[in-house]
Structure 1
Amino acid sequence: MDWTHYRFRSLWSLPAPPDAVYDVLQRPEDYPRWWPQVREVTRLDDTTGTVRIRSFLPYDMIFTARGIRRDPVAGILEIALSGDIEGSARWAVTPRGTGSLARYDQVVDVTKPLLRRFAVPGRPLFRANHRLMMRAGRRGLARHLEHGRQAV
């Protein structure tokens, strides 16, 4: 087993139609407004940016995200990741009841030296850290979407 390889899946049930959710998710430079652990996003060009995240554990992860698929009809956003993590991430937004289901899949290898050094003993903490970050992201996005509907 490669202790620095991770597969994550998160399912977010959200109180807004798929097009509204997709519209927010396709603007990563706005993520810090509603996702507390996404500390900074700097756009480099139309498809690429740098991202700095920090969840509960006291370390930052910095990586470059490059868009590789953007399909609003299918509700798909896909990026390639390089830097402290290498791999890919994908959002798939579909209708669910009166709202949406946003499915996030991430497959990465950790390259950050500190996290590689503690790969075996730290793995349960790193996974829990990711779960906390994703939980906060879902709550933040749900609030953001609620406020957006109230402003209309």
Structure 2
Amino acid sequence: MTRYDVRFTGRWRTPLPPDALYTTLADIANYASWWPEMRHTRLTREGEAEVTLRALLPYQLTMRVQRLVEDPVSRVLEAALDGDITGHIRWDIRASTPAGSIAVLTQAVTVNKPSLRRLMPLARPLFRLNHALSMRSGRRALLTRTCSAGG
């Protein structure tokens, strides 16, 4: 692991059935319609999207997200990231109650954006906080969207 490598984990508990949560998380082209930090998502070809995100800290990340695994039976989503950050991201979705689910995120990335690389030694805790806040916001937005849609 280099000084530019970062690993993130996250866990979302939701009242959504696992298949519904899987379907929503698999539809990366629509993330920007419900996840506030996802400023722009655009399909570039089948299984690939360009994503721009910005959370609390004043920086923006743009990357290509290329689907590697999309398994609705085991409810696993995995993608390669390339751009301002490179690496992998994975969602594992499972039932937690008869009507609810848990989504576990694991992400291992290398920061490529020069301005962020310069800050890495000192700002790593802030990057982690920024990621945690983005994840919390995404979960909240997902639940709001689902409740307002009657699901």
TM-score w.r.t. the length of structure 2 is: 0.96
Structure 2 residue runs of 5 or longer lacking an equivalent are: none
Aligned counterpart, 1:102: 103
- Residue 55 of structure 2: SS of its match in structure 1? coil
Aligned counterpart, 2:23: 23
Which letter does structure 1 place at the counterpart of 2:81?
A: L
| Distance in 2 (alpha carbons) for counterparts of 1:134 and 1:45 | 26
| Distance in 1 (alpha carbons) for counterparts of 2:114 and 2:139 | 29
Aligned counterpart, 2:87: 87
Answer yes or no: is 1:141 the counterpart of 2:142: yes
State the shift of 1:32 in Å: 1.1
Which letter does structure 1 place at the counterpart of 2:106?
A: D
Which letter does structure 2 place at the counterpart of 1:14?
A: T
Structure 1 residue runs of 5 or longer lacking an equivalent are: none
Which letter does structure 1 place at the counterpart of 2:64?
A: T
Aligned counterpart, 2:123: 122
| Stretches of 4+ aligned residues off by more than 4 angstroms | none
| Distance in 1 (alpha carbons) for counterparts of 2:106 and 2:143 | 19
State the shift of 1:73 in Å: 0.6
Aligned counterpart, 1:50: 50
- Residue 45 of structure 2: SS of its match in structure 1? coil
CA deviation string 1:16-42 (max 9, x = no partner): 100110111111111112110000001
CA deviation string 1:32-75 (max 9, x = no partner): 12110000001011111110000001111000000000000100
Identity %: 39
| Distance in 1 (alpha carbons) for counterparts of 2:4 and 2:51 | 20
Root mean square deviation, CA, Å: 1.1
State the shift of 1:2 in Å: 2.3
- Residue 89 of structure 1: SS of its match in structure 2? strand
TM-score w.r.t. the length of structure 1 is: 0.95
